[in-house]
Amino acid sequence: MAMVDAEAIVKELRETYASGKTKNYEWRVSQLKALLKIAEHHEKEIVDALNSDLSKPELECFVHEISMMKTSCKHALKELKRWMKPEKVKTSLTTFPSSAEIVPEPFGVVLVISAWNYPFLLSLDPVIGAIAAGNAVVLKPSEVAPATSSVLAKLLGEYMDVTAIRVVEGAVPETTALLEQKWDKIFYTGNGKVGRIVMAAAAKHLTPVVLELGGKSPVVVDSNINLKVAVRRIIAGKWGCNNGQACISPDYIITTKENVPKLLDAMKLELEKFYGNDPLKSGDISRIVNANHFHRLSKLLDDNKVVDKVVHGGQRDENNLKIAPTILLDVPEDSLIMKEEIFGPLLPILTVNKVEDSIEFINAREKPLAAYLFTGNKKLEEEFVRNISAGGLLINDTTLHLATSTLPFGGVGESGMGSYHGRFSFEAFSHKKAVLRRSFGGDVPARYPPYTPEKVRFLKALLNGNILGLIRALLGW
């Protein structure tokens, strides 16, 4: 593959952006409709690519990637005029008479670097926001999902306006070349290590960034719950989402010593119902994306501190890159599996004396992208929402907040910065420009030198909101 000429691509997109084409409402609509056509007319091609990259079940391909992308696109098309409309705001006595508004304007030429675990959705969802906001955009899909990257490059090249929307394939050299350019905004989805590289590159040009990272998302399980429903929802969020290879996948469970036997029994029962006696042969579980990640996960399992902590699963098939749903009990806090984001089908369960202790445990660690609580206790729920700092919280379920377009999706601290989805995607790629309008009337002499004592009294009264003092100053009292 020839090395990408990143400088030439950016130059071409800047020329397009400077022409004003991308700011046009009709252009934005045409490009969003083109994205919809891609999803509607090439579903099989997209599913085949996702299956090639991750052996992702067809249902997951459609529900978690294609359908969510289409929903995002349709939502943007429906709301775009309202989002683009300037927002009228109040003015003060200081600027009277005047009017003011906030005008959303595109940043300009933006870069979207996406991840491999949901390579279709995580590529196009930010692009939808960038287009809706009126930007020219370069998409860099993940080379770890090469089939999906290739499909995206082909289809966007066929359907989209390539003078304003480009796909750049490749690996580290291509990403490095792109990051050397001056962008007006960078949107990165991935891990914290690369996130720091992206941020350092952006800092050279004072480029704003959105970083969608990950973290160890905890699940707190209380005892006063519908255990069967809770367990099914935990399994769906962990193994039913890319076999744990998801940024908001439950990373570990915290429950009480008293509750753990019932929880374990329920999880084992439901896992067998879902994936059978030999989950490695199940067609409903995604494989590990590549050999590197398989060996990384195997290293977590083979750690001497946890090797005897497996209470369910643990089977591996290196040839087919499959790891069965695996539960570990009471792993040490200093073990490898508790030090880094798992991003796979391994799920530790930690026990505490009382469920309230879980809040202190979570807060002693880096802020996660998501935190989940299963409880029927309203007091505990309120305490959890009040005291846990995470990108997002979900009570009595997992991962579904991702699909709620009225909520911002993003991290905090180590789990990222900035957010998107729905209107928040539009805002992520828009600068809120302040506009104040005045007529030539209503000019106040006290604003200008020489600054006499009378003028000082008048301006102090005006700025302090002292109406009586203002009247006195005007009357010369």
Q: Active-site residue 61, yes or no? A: no
Given its phi and psi angles, is residue 215 left (phi above 0), alpha (psi -120 to 50 degrees) or beta?
left
Distance (Å, whole) CA 39 – CA 45: 10
Measured CA to CA, the distance from residue 115 to residue 247 in angstroms comes to: 10
Q: 8: which residues sit within 8 A by CB, 6+ positions away?
A: none
* Catalytic hit among 61, 73, 241, 247: 247
299: CB partners within 8 A, 6+ apart = 336
SS3 171: coil
The DSSP result for 396-428, as a single string, is SSSSGGGG-TTS-EE--GGGEE-EESTHHHHHH
What residues have CB less than 8 Å from 89, skipping those under 6 apart? 100, 101, 102
Active-site annotation holder among 65, 212, 414, 427: 212
Q: Is 247 a catalytic residue?
A: yes
Q: How far apart are CA 380 and CA 373, in angstroms?
A: 9
CB 109 within 8 Å of CB 184: yes
Reported as half-sphere exposure (CB side, CA atoms, 13 A), residue 351 has a value of 14
The three-class DSSP label of residue 178 is: helix
CA atoms within 13 A on the CB side of 400: 9
Six-digit token pair at 178? Answer: 């792109």
Yes or no: say if 375 and 224 are a contact pair by the CB < 8 Å rule.
yes
Start-to-end Cα distance in the chain? 82
Active site residues: 212, 247
